[in-house]
Amino acid sequence: MIFSTTKALTLVGLLTSGFAAAVPAPTAAPARSLNKRQSSVDTFISTESPIAYAGVLANIGDDGSKVAGAAAGIVVASPSKSNPDYFYTWTRDAALVFKALVDQFIAGDFDLQDEIEDYIISQAKLQGVSNPSGDLSSGTGLGEPKFYVDLTQFTGAWGRPQRDGPALRATAMIAYAKWLVDNGYTDTARDVVWPVIRNDLSYVTQYWNQTGFDLWEEVQGSSFFTIAVSHRALVEGSTLASQLGQSCSYCDSQAPQILCFLQSFWNSNGNYVVSNINTNNGRTGKDANSILTSIHTFDQAAGCDDSTFQPCSARALANHKAVTDSFRSIYAINSGIAQGSAVAVGRYAEDSYYNGNPWYLCTLAAAEQLYDALYTWTREGSITINSVSLPFFQDIYSSAAVGTYASGTDTFTALLNAVKTYADGYIAKVQQYTPSSGALSEQYSRSDGTPLSAPDLTWSYAAFLTAVSARNGIVPASWGGESANVVPGQCVATSALGTYSSATNTVFPTSQTSAPGGSTTTTTRPTTTTTRTTTTSSSTTTGATCPTSVAVTFNVIATTYFGESVLLAGGVAALGSWAPASAKALSADRYTASNNLWYGTVSLAPGTAVAYKYVRKGSDGAFTWESDPNRSYTVPSCVATASVSDTWR
């Protein structure tokens, strides 16, 4: 059998470049030195986050401290070269990792730009490497799952093709291309990044309706995960094409049919996703594949949509229960755990790889889906329970009943708290079986929790960061799911030809971003008095021409509760012109128990005098301004970046 080795983060934001500098890459602990500490989940998160971040970066590229020999931009699954040998790069896993890094970059971690550009360059090269799956001229070579870390083909026996990689890679690069467009670098997005994306979109439209191997690299058939991420890629790919003055008619023709086919995986009798169809593997189909699908196609603006299996949808919640319940009775370490309490989660109950154990990333995915759901319910201001989702809710809140519960009601609050406690239980389960060093392997023993299989698995570290980011309410931008969820009345087996060509322009212009920054906070109603000043810093430019805009990062220390967010409002359009509903949302992806930081970066004209305040938005949608007076800041001239540091008052 063929077994997968990496997967990657959706960490929309726990990564911070400061962590990489301050904390050495972790090393594997002795097999039996399990961490038995009973500290709170918050404390565990604050100590594990920098370790996980360092673990991710240690496995990337020519400067990765644990992967000597890897080419620039290459994500290595694990430093392990034997028992098991995971010293390769997978298209799927690298894409998931870099989607997370791009999201972190957009949130203000600008030190990641070189890594992101190295990734795009490396993938442009890999697209042109002929391999056992094929080559670029026909597109077939894009379905090759893995390569050596020096960008050469792997010719050994493997489960090929795997059709999720191109879709996921397109999604990662689309996020970066959109940032380029939004920041005035449309030419770079069109001339350097789009040709790589277009190849992958063309592969998806041509081959989505053909079978391949699933993300665990074991089952040949039609994969729920692959189909869902393919739909997403085409939807956002078409939008980007329009922004670049290009077209992707083949995206538009195929996306609705992919969504139509996606509905075929739902088992309405058992209320769960059959993760692989068009195959006969003797399994129930209950698989963490489906939970991973939900978090990697999460759209903050799509609500609880069933057709795209959004995390808070009735289908996704029922499936969460079905999948996690399938592990309750088969693992010794889950013995005695009550229904409705978190358990260790593996890939699927029938798994036999390394004797079939729980995986860190699967347990973390179970938490992340619930955190995403909490975000949406808070944003939407209500929770709806129907007959499909009722068993999920009854497990964690015995009084749950069919109905819609608005924010501000006792039931809404009780349900939020119950789900939050349940989600935190999965983090606590990871804490229980994490070694004292913080190093994360691929698996932990079903019998006693001992770490097993590949050490320092990139995907495990990334999954931790992703889950924590979701817990903090930090989510990536919408991919358009809200307007792409109408299922056609009839499914048609179809495909469309796109365009394949070598992406030869891989030179990125310099200075297309600003310095790193970060913050999280809240503010108060504006006043007519502006006297408060702040601590500031800036970086000057070295060229003869001064920039026409300055990337100003506002940092604020503000202690918040779950479901609460911090906004930046002010007297300029970029800050909502004092309208809190239009204010700049700040990021909490660096928020820890000891550093309650919210931050955000805004492009402002040099010399502009800005009056501003921080605003809290509660889980009920109410705004609370920080105390008077207004703060003031004058944007410096002839600098590329600047930063402001405040404390909520």
Structure confidence at residue 14 (pLDDT): 36
Assess whether 214 carries a catalytic annotation: yes
What tokens does 248 get?
């992707």
What tokens does 239 get?
């939008």
Q: Classify burial at 32, counting beta carbons within 10 Å of its beta carbon; exposed 0-12, middle 13-18, buried 19 or more.
A: exposed
Residues paired with 646 in a beta bridge = 556
Structure confidence at residue 513 (pLDDT): 64
Mean pLDDT of 128-147: 98
Structure confidence at residue 197 (pLDDT): 99
Contacts of 186 (CB under 8 A, 6+ apart): 180, 243, 244
Contacts of 315 (CB under 8 A, 6+ apart): 266, 271, 273, 306, 309, 388
Phi, psi of 199 (to 5 degrees): -60, -45
Of the residues 93, 217, 368, 646, which is catalytic?
217
Of the pLDDT bands very low, low, confident and very high (cuts 50, 70, 90), residue 563 is confident
Contacts of 334 (CB under 8 A, 6+ apart): 327, 328, 343, 344
Q: Classify burial at 581, counting beta carbons within 10 Å of its beta carbon; exposed 0-12, middle 13-18, buried 19 or more.
A: exposed
8 Å CB contact between 47 and 53:
no
CATH 3.40.50.970 is right for the domain spanning 530-647: no
Q: Say if residue 536's pLDDT is above 80.
A: no
Alpha helices in 74-211 (DSSP H): 91-106, 113-127, 164-182, 186-188, 194-207
Structure confidence at residue 591 (pLDDT): 81
Of the pLDDT bands very low, low, confident and very high (cuts 50, 70, 90), residue 21 is very low
What is the average pLDDT value for the chain, to the nearest integer?
A: 88
Of the pLDDT bands very low, low, confident and very high (cuts 50, 70, 90), residue 520 is very low
Distances (CA, A) of 17 to 20, 361, 439: 5, 22, 19
Each residue's pLDDT tens digit, 254-291: 999 999 999 999 999 999 999 999 999 999 999 999 99
Of the pLDDT bands very low, low, confident and very high (cuts 50, 70, 90), residue 34 is very low
Give the least confident one: 176-180, 421-425, 551-555: 551-555
Task: Fill in the DSSP letter of residue 191.
Answer: I
Q: Say if residue 648's pLDDT is above 60.
A: yes
Q: How many other CB atoms are found less than 10 A from the CB of residue 152?
A: 12
Q: What is the bridge-based pairing of β-strands 609-617 and 630-634? A: antiparallel
Q: Say if residue 494's pLDDT is above 60.
A: yes
Closest by alpha carbon to 207, among 241, 159, 162, 256? 162
Each residue's pLDDT tens digit, 406-436: 999 999 999 999 999 999 999 999 999 999 9
Of the pLDDT bands very low, low, confident and very high (cuts 50, 70, 90), residue 525 is very low
Mean pLDDT of 352-368: 98
Q: Say if residue 639's pLDDT is above 90.
A: no
Of the pLDDT bands very low, low, confident and very high (cuts 50, 70, 90), residue 6 is very low
What tokens does 278 get?
């068009």
Q: Say if residue 517's pLDDT is above 70.
A: no
Distance CA 364, CA 190 (A): 36
Q: Is 158 labelled a binding residue?
A: yes
Strand runs labelled E in 431-487: 443-444, 451-452
Residue 594, helix vs strand vs coil = coil
Name the residue ranges covered by the structural domains of the chain.
17-24+42-483, 530-647
Of the pLDDT bands very low, low, confident and very high (cuts 50, 70, 90), residue 580 is confident
Q: Say if residue 84's pLDDT is above 90.
A: yes
Q: What percent of the chain has pLDDT over 90?
A: 73
Give the least confident one: 490-499, 516-525, 619-628: 516-525
Each residue's pLDDT tens digit, 332-347: 999 999 999 999 999 9
Phi, psi of 234 (to 5 degrees): -70, -35
8 Å CB contact between 181 and 108:
no
Structure confidence at residue 2 (pLDDT): 34
Q: Say if residue 95's pLDDT is above 60.
A: yes
Structure confidence at residue 519 (pLDDT): 30
Q: Which residue has the higher pLDDT, 273 or 533?
A: 273
Mean pLDDT of 355-362: 98
Q: Say if residue 154's pLDDT is above 60.
A: yes
Structure confidence at residue 327 (pLDDT): 99
Of the pLDDT bands very low, low, confident and very high (cuts 50, 70, 90), residue 38 is very low
Assess whether 628 carries a catalytic annotation: no
Q: What is the bridge-based pairing of β-strands 565-570 and 609-617? A: antiparallel
Each residue's pLDDT tens digit, 432-455: 999 999 999 999 999 999 999 999
Of the residues 117, 200, 214, 305, which is catalytic?
214
Distance CA 137, CA 79 (A): 33
DSSP result, 382-428: EEEE-TTTHHHHHHH-TT--SEEEETTSHHHHHHHHHHHHHHHHHHH
Of the pLDDT bands very low, low, confident and very high (cuts 50, 70, 90), residue 19 is very low
Q: Say if residue 490's pLDDT is above 90.
A: yes
Q: Which residue has the higher pLDDT, 542 or 138?
A: 138
Phi, psi of 172 (to 5 degrees): -60, -45
Each residue's pLDDT tens digit, 156-173: 999 999 999 999 999 999
Structure confidence at residue 545 (pLDDT): 54
Structure confidence at residue 553 (pLDDT): 92
Which CATH number applies to 17-24+42-483? 1.50.10.10
Mean pLDDT of 170-179: 97
